[in-house]
Amino acid sequence: MKANNNIGCSVTECRFHAKDENYCSLEKIQVTKHEAQAKTKQCTDCGSFEAQ
């Protein structure tokens, strides 16, 4: 997988993790929220995550 140096990622359990480097291999990601109003980073998630 080719690393996208514009998207850092340390979630090695994700299908799109660049394996040899702490980057994502996607062209873009979708950031989502799981609260009505996101006030902290803990209220957001990577909606592009897929388990390996």
- Name, in order, each residue with C-beta under 8 angstroms of 40's C-beta and a sequence gap of 6 or more: none
Look at residue 1 and tell me whether its pLDDT is greater than 90.
no
The model's pLDDT over 20-48, given as tens digits with 9 standing for 90+, comes to 999 999 999 999 999 999 999 999 999 99
Question: What is the pTM for the complete model shown?
Answer: 0.86
What's the CA gap between 34 and 40, in Å, rounded? 11
* In-domain check, residue 11: yes
12: tokens are 């090695």
Q: Taking a C-beta distance cutoff of 8 angstroms, is the pair 17, 4 a contact?
A: no
23: in domain: yes
Domain count, the chain: 1
CB atoms within 10 A of CB 23: 20
* Structural domain for 39, as ranges: 4-46
pLDDT of residue 39: 96
Instruction: Report whether pLDDT(5) > 90.
Output: yes
Is 51 inside any structural domain?
no
